[in-house]
Structures are given as C-alpha cells and as structure tokens.
Structure 1
C-alpha cells in the first residue's frame, strides 16, 4: 500500500501512528517504531516534503516540536482503506462487548510482551565475532 502512494512502509506506519494519536513528537514516533533519531528525521523530512505532515512548536514547551497530519493530504489514503474498515466493522459487530474486551486484552498483552522481548533481545545482543576462515594447508 505504501508503494501505491510513493511512500516507504515505515512512512505509512508513522502516518498511521500520527493519525491515531492526533499529534506526536519525533521522539515518540522513534520510540514507537524503533528508528534512530537520524532515521526519524529523514522520514519526517520525506513526509513533510510530500505534504503529509507539518511540524509545529509545542504550545506547552516551545523547545519541542509536535507533528500533525495534514488532513487533506491523507484523504486518498483514507479512501483506499475505507472498504477494509467497513468489512472489519462488520466482523467486529458479531462479537459481544465481553468478547471484544477479551480480544483487546489479548492484543494489548501480546503487544506489550513483544515489545518487552525485543527490548530484552536488544539489550542482550552481543556482537557476533567475525568468522575465521580455515587455512588450507
């Protein structure tokens, strides 16, 4: 889908995060995606040049920048996802409130666990020693 709009997959992921949050700092997006600050800056520069996002000073802290989606710019993306959203809504409507609560709990706990495991793996990852070539002799 990202390619359809001339975006990288991570660009589309960040647009989705911004859409759901309404606003975020570059640091919040970097933490959510696992991107370095340099990679996040490059991503945001691409999205800004393409007209999808704008940077604004945080009214609560002028040293921080908040990112916002330009609503008009994402209308074509929303239109492509609208049929899927309608079908998902139809699926979800077949579940009771209690069942949906269980599903949400499962997804949240699974996501939290996955994030924790990735953090553990990053912290425990020791660099692999280079392989030595066998000398022929």
Structure 2
C-alpha cells in the first residue's frame, strides 16, 4: 500500500469516526427527548443503571462531572421518577442512588428496540474474528477517549 493510499484511508476513516460520533450523540439526544430528559441525564441514567447502587460521588468520578452537576442530574432523574435515593443500610451517612429498573428499562427499551434489531441484523454479517476485531477497536478507542477526557479536565 502506498503512503498516499494509506493517508487517504486514514483521512476517510477519521471522517467516518467523526460522523459516527455526531450521529451517536444526535440519536441519544432524540432518545433523551422522548424520555423527557436532556442527553447528560439520559447517559447518567444509563451509568446508574449499569452500576447501581451508586453514590453521587461515585457517579461524579465515573462521569467526570462535578458533584454539584451530579446532584442536579439526580434531582431531575428523581423528579422524572427514574431513580430514588436510599440510605445505605451499612453506613447510614451514605446515600445510594438506585433506578426504578422496570420503568427505566421499559421506557428506554421501547425507544431502542428498532435500533437494536437493526444493529443485530448488521452484525450478523460479521464472522467471529471480525467481531473480535471490532471489540478490540472499541475497547482501545474507549481507552483513548477516557485518557483524552482526563487531559482536557486538567
């Protein structure tokens, strides 16, 4: 492969990643709007759902958002009846955040079902080795994103 061809492929790939990122953000914004949330609250809800029970401080550390911002997120999610606060039974000074799982999953999944089916149909076209390559690509990409996010926050 010539240097020129490689540079062209890298440029096209970078453009595709930028489009993918933008389309992902716009998709999740549309889902958030359907749920009556903003996109930050929607993604925080997902993080709480995957990590519950969780404290506000832990969510702040996971997201990189300030504790004040997280308090606002939790307040809005609680008002929308997606999450609730409860005292930690082992340490009554701690407040744990939990999700009303059935409500969250049913509301969110109703908006993601078509997307999930379309993605599943697309992924059927890849063999196991290609899937492993994609897993590796996304894992490495996420590591880069997390590291670059940390750099921006310094």
TM norm structure 2: 0.69
Q: Which has the higher strand share?
A: 1
Coordinate RMSD, CA, aligned? 1.9
Structure with higher Rg: it is 1
Could you tell me how far apart the structure 1 residues matched to 2:133 and 2:118 are?
21
Q: Which has the higher helix share?
A: 2
* Structure 1: segments with no counterpart, 5+ residues: 124-137
Could you tell me how far apart the structure 2 residues matched to 1:59 and 1:95 are?
47
* Structure 2: segments with no counterpart, 5+ residues: 1-30
Could you tell me how far apart the structure 1 residues matched to 2:77 and 2:118 are?
29
Which secondary structure does the structure 1 equivalent of 2:94 belong to? strand
Q: What corresponds to 1:94 in structure 2?
A: 125
Q: What corresponds to 1:35 in structure 2?
A: 65
Could you tell me how far apart the structure 1 residues matched to 2:76 and 2:147 are?
30
Could you tell me how far apart the structure 1 residues matched to 2:87 and 2:129 are?
42
